Amino acid sequence: MKNNSKKKKNKNQISFYFEDYNETNKKNKILKKTNNIQDRMYLLFFFFFSLILIFSIKITYISLDQKNILNKEKYSSQFTLIRRDIVDRNGVIISRNINTFHAAIDPKLVKDKSNFLIKLRLNFPELPIQEIEKKLNEKKYFRIKKRISQIEKDKFWSMGEKAIKFEPFQARMYTHGQLFSHIIGQVDYDNYGISGLEKYFDKELKDKKQLHEPLKLTLDSNIQHIINTELNEAVKTFNASGGGALLLDVNSGDIISLVSLPNFNINQRTSIKDEKYINKITKGIYELGSIFKTFTLALALDHNLVNANTIIQNIPRKIRCSIHEITDIKEHPKNLSVEEILIRSSNVGSVLLAKKVGVEKYKNFIKETNLTKNPEIELTEVGVPHQIKWNRCKLETISFGHGITTTPLQATALYAAMSNGGKLIKPSLIKDRKMKKPKKIISTDTSNKINAILRKVVTSKHGTASLADKDGYLIGGKTGTAESYGDKKNRINSFISVFPTNKPNYTLFIMLENPKINKDLIYNYRGIKTKAPLNTSGWNSVFVAGKIIEKIGPILAINNDEFTDLYVAEKFN
C-alpha cells in the first residue's frame, strides 16, 4: 500500500511539474514572439527614418548647390568673375559680367527634322530657317543663336527638343543700355575690350587681384540721365542732326556727365560705322566760334594791355584782311568797353584786342593750353585738331574762333581754367585718381574778372545768353556759332556756361549740330513772350543749357555745401 501511495504521490508530483513547465514555456514563446515583432518594427522605423533623412539631406544639398541641369547634362555654373564691375561715382552699377548662354543644335539628336523646323519657325521667325535646314543636313554641331536672353532660353527649352544645347559663357551687360554708350564702350565675345573705357582699361579690368574691386567713375547716373533726356528733347525741338553735352567740375577735372547724340545701345553687338555716331565731345573736331573771344579777352587782361572798362574807340563796321572781310552779325556802337566786346560778342572788337595781344603771345597761349593737340582722356576715341599755319590773317580769325579747331572737351577744360583761378586741370573719368599739380595759365585776378564778365553775358540786356539766366545759380557763359571743320554745311551752335560765377564749381558745354528755328516755340525772353528771330546759339543751345542747369542744380547743390548756401541766399533773400 505504501508503495502504491508513493507511486500516486510521484505521479501527482510529475504531473504538477509538467504543467508548470508548459505554462512557463508558453509565456516564453509569447514573450519571444513579441520581442521579434518589436525588433522588426524598430528595424522598419530605422529604415524609413534613414530614407527620410537621406532625402532631406539630398533636397537641402540640391537647393543650396549652384548647379543647373540642361539638356539632361550637368554642368557647373559657379560664377567666377573674369572682369571687374564698372560703377558711377555713387556706386551705381554701369557694367557687369553675368552668366548667359549660346543656343546650339546637335543634328544627330534631331528625330523629326520637319517638325523641328516648324517649331523653330513658330518660336523664332527671325531665324534663317533655310540656312538652319542646310546645316542640319550636314550633320555637324552648330550654334543657332548667340547671347540668348532668359526669355529666349525658356522658349528654346519649351520646345522639348534634346537636340538643342545651351552653352554657358560669361557676358558683359550694361545696365543703362545706351546712356553711357560713348564712354563705356564694348567688349567682344571673348571679353576683350574693343572700345571706350572697356578698351582703355582692358588690362586693369581683367586684373585678378582687383576683380572684386569695381572701377569707379566720376560720372553721375542721375545727372547723365537728365542731361541725356533734355538734349534728346532739344534735338527733336530744333530738328538737329545731333548734339553733345559735357559737365565738368572746374576744380577737380571730374567729368560728371558726357553725352553725345545720336547714341546706341551697347548691349546690342552691332558694328557702328556711321560717322554720326562718333563721340562728339572727345573725337569731334570743330571751329567753335565766338567762345574763343573769351580767351582773347583773357589774354588782353592778363598782359595788362587793357582793363575791363577800357573803351575801344572807333570800332569799324568791318575789317578787311587779305581776301577776308570780318564783320559783325548786327551793328554795335562805335565805342565799346572791353567787357562789352565780349558781352555783345563783337567779331571786329575781338580782332582789335587780338592785335594788342600780338601773334607771339597768342601762339604761346595755344601751345601752353594744348588746344591743338590730342585731348588727354581715358578713351581711345579722341580727335586730332588741325595744326595752325600762322599765315596772314590767322591771328585775326582765331581771335573770334575761326581758323582754329579743337574738341569740345579741350574747350570746356580751358573754360574751367578761365573760371577756377587760372589752373589748367586735366579732365578725367576716373574717381579718386592721383592728380598732378595743375599749370597756371592766367592770374587769379584775371580769372575773377572773366567770371564777372561772363555773368553779364547772361544778365545784360545786350548779352547773347539771357535765356540761361535761372534764379539761384549765378550762371555765366559764352555763346558760339560756327561750322564743323571741312564741312561748311555742318553748323555748330554751342554754349559754355560757368556756375556759380562768384565761386565757380562747374562748367557745362552744350552743342547742337545743324539746328533749325522752331517756329512754334514761344520763349520767355526777359519777361516777354517771343519767337526766335535768328538761328543762333542764344536761341537754342543757351535755351537748352538753362533748362538743364535748372534740373541738375538741386542735385549738384546737395553734393556741395557752399553751392547750397549760395543757392538759398540768392533764391530767398
Whether the pLDDT of residue 124 is over 60: the answer is yes
Question: Could you tell me what percent of the chain has a pLDDT over 90?
Answer: 69
Q: What is the mean pLDDT of residues 259-286?
A: 88
Q: Which runs of consecutive H residues, i.e. helices, occur in 188-269?
A: 196-200, 202-205, 221-237
In whole angstroms, give the CA distance from residue 380 to residue 182: 11
Query: At the fourth CATH level, which superfamily is domain 223-264+280-572?
Result: DD-peptidase/beta-lactamase superfamily (3.40.710.10)
Each domain of the chain, given as residue ranges in start order, spans: 2-65, 76-215, 223-264+280-572
pLDDT for position 561: 56
In whole angstroms, give the CA distance from residue 290 to residue 346: 9
User: Is CATH 3.90.1310.10 correct for 76-215?
Assistant: yes
Q: How far is CA 433 from CA 200, 252, 254, 430, 504, in A?
A: 15, 10, 10, 6, 22
Q: What pTM was estimated for this model as a whole?
A: 0.80
Residue 431 Cα to chain centre, angstroms? 14
pLDDT by residue (tens digit) across 29-69? 565 666 667 777 777 777 777 888 887 887 777 666 544 44
**Helix 541-558 vs helix 221-237: crossing angle, to nearest 10:** 160
User: Which of 79-83, 207-211, 306-310, 343-347 is predicted with the least confidence, judged by mean pLDDT?
Assistant: 79-83
C-alpha cell at 116: 523641328
How many residues in total does the chain contain?
A: 573
pLDDT by residue (tens digit) across 403-449? 899 999 999 999 999 999 999 999 999 999 988 899 999 999 999 99
pLDDT by residue (tens digit) across 525-562? 888 899 999 899 999 999 999 999 999 999 998 666 55
Is-contact 388 404, C-beta < 8 A? yes
Instruction: For residue 262, say if its preceding peptide bond is cis, omega within 30 degrees of 0.
Output: yes
Is-contact 559 252, C-beta < 8 A? no
- Return the bridge partners of 476, or none: 498
Same fold for the domain at 76-215 and the one at 223-264+280-572?
A: no
| Beta-carbon count within 10 A of 423 CB | 19
Question: Which residue in this structure is represented by grid cell 586741370?
Answer: 425
Whether the pLDDT of residue 21 is over 50: the answer is no
For 253, phi then psi, to 5°, come to 85, 5
Whether the pLDDT of residue 567 is over 90: the answer is no
Q: How far is CA 106 from CA 125, 139, 161, 364, in A?
A: 20, 8, 10, 69
Whether the pLDDT of residue 513 is over 60: the answer is yes
Strands 439-440 and 423-424, bridge-based pairing: antiparallel
**Helix 561-572 vs helix 541-558: crossing angle, to nearest 10:** 120
pLDDT by residue (tens digit) across 133-160? 999 999 899 999 988 888 999 999 999 9
pLDDT for position 53: 82
